[in-house]
Structure 1
């Protein structure tokens, strides 16, 4: 996992100084395109008391999707890869654990066969790898996996496949008095395991999907358990609902990368005063991946069609980002 010292190197920790008061480029990994200019113009206006676009600090709330927006999401969501690895490891220890076609496909690492089992099969993998354990046990397993697992294309650790330009954007917003939140379809406990080290976003500012849970006192220890079954999906219409119930204010800045983020951007930018919607468009097959309308992961069609007319910024990864990964 990222250490605090590495976070400082990447500029993730708050500096205590206003970025607009510095001569240094607040977004050095962004190319000097219209995208970078629009972001800086918005942030400067929202944080300058003398600007007509000034927003009081209490209302400077920014929300970000995670998969495909802050870190990569191909060939499948990293959380699903965690579940597949968990099932494979447990199946090797106890073959009787592999009781269904979905679990056998996961244990074999056959993603195509697993996807063919449909939503029911995927839920079996989620329950097998996420449920019947305490939150602490689950998160410890996630951290162990992140310490050892490698991405099949890049060979990088999954927590090294963060987008450097987005890390800079998070830091820049915080330097200018914004509160940054993750609002993602990923599992809330999965993301909370690494979000603070990776993004400098504390657990209480991470909103995600969740499976069912229960409370028990086990051997004298009060414990929150993760149970089988889905409790809430933080996607599409669920995102504005989750923001309203968890944060209690409409954000003024929202960033996503797929049509699953459409309603979050729509609701954010429909408010009064200065608003900013941002979509990361994956156009770089050389450094990362290129996908949009027909992708099985992170499908982006409506956002491309309607986003520009709504004033949203469509970030072209190939054109607007000078670097992709922190290690470049």
Structure 2
């Protein structure tokens, strides 16, 4: 064999090995249900849990009807800083309705909204925020409110990323939702946000239909208007689906105790406790820890929105998985 022949043979062998490796790597990438997750402990924990509960004839097997997974929304599935998206919506609604309410110019917390005084608005606390929500969300039918929400989401832009809010969902969590559903799970959103604020868009964005959304609500009443049946939204609180309210909402809307729960803040503490601290079958709890100031935000114990303090301490005691967004996610948002 000449030197030239040897070199040709060696080159051919090298190309063949490279092609084989490319095929193997490509196949692995295609088979990876969570490609936006780094190969760190949280991804391993997710896959291990799913494999345990879906393997028939194993002691940890869970029948499909009982495979219920619940997800918080704000800060778990999409951004919640610099403020909750629904609050941004409510502030815009107050500004739009202000000409019909001249008294708001001298009445807090509306005065703070109209003047852009976020410090005073924050100081008004939960009571002030609820007053704003009532003013922005009541006094119309459910159908009218749904259209207003859809129109706002189509035009509103996040102040930092300059994108629609529905594009600022977390790609790793979209993959997780798909992965669970592909393995026989039914996925629910259980959020402190308004149930009728979320229902118009969750199916398109998350693949979660309206009937699988649990959230806070205001009271509605049935009315006949010009011969047409309508549900009219009243300026009264019906249910707050946050903190201890989340297990109540799960019980009332879903009727089954979840086997997996995903959150990011102290508002999700009781939901994770309700899901995981029950004995019986294998249970899974996960918290998203916002640690990536460059790609998103970094916050936990000292923030007005999405405080992660008590729940972070509880995670260590209860062996919940904590996702370090900076270390565990290859990408944060979907690529458009």
> TM-score, normalization: structure 2?
0.88
4+ residue runs of structure 1 moved beyond 3 angstroms? none
Structure with higher Rg: it is 2
Q: Could you say which residue in structure 2 is the equivalent of 1:266?
A: 273
Per-residue deviation, 1:212: 1.6
Query: Equivalences for 1:107-126 in 2 at 5 Å?
Result: 107-126=114-133
DSSP-derived class of the 1:212 partner: strand
Aligned to 1:208: 215
Q: Any unmatched runs of 5+ in structure 1?
A: 1-20
2:104 counterpart (92, 95, 98): 98
Deviations 1:163-210 (A, max 9, x none): 100000000000000000001100010011211111010111000001
Does the Cα contact within 8 Å between 1:211 and 1:232 map onto a contact in 2? yes
Confirm or deny that 1:247 pairs with 2:218: no
The answer for the alignment partner of 1:223 in structure 2 is: 230
My pick for the range that moved more, 199-208 or 118-127, is 118-127
Aligned counterparts of 1:196 and 1:203: Cα–Cα separation in 2 = 7
TM-superposed deviation, 1:22: 10
Aligned equivalent of 1:311: 319
Spell out, residue by residue over 1:6-30, the C-alpha distance to the aligned partner (whole angstroms, 9 max, x if none).
Answer: xxxxxxxxxxxxxxx9961000000
Structure number with higher helix proportion: 2
Determine the structure 1 residue equivalent to 2:157. Answer: 150
Which one is further off, 101-110 or 167-176? 101-110
Partner of 1:53: 60
Name the residue aligned to 2:142. Answer: 135
Name the counterpart of 2:309: 301
1:94 to partner: Cα distance: 3.8
1:27-38 to 2 correspondence within 5 Å? 27-38=34-45
* Cross-structure match for 1:66: 73
Q: Tell me: CA distance 1:112–1:193, structure 2 relative to 1, closer, same or farther (3 Å).
A: farther
Report if the CA contact (8 A) 1:85-1:107 is conserved: no
Q: Which runs of 5+ in 2 are unaligned?
A: 1-27
Change (3 A) 1:68 1:297: same
Partner of 2:87: 80
Aligned length: 307
TM-score (norm 1): 0.90
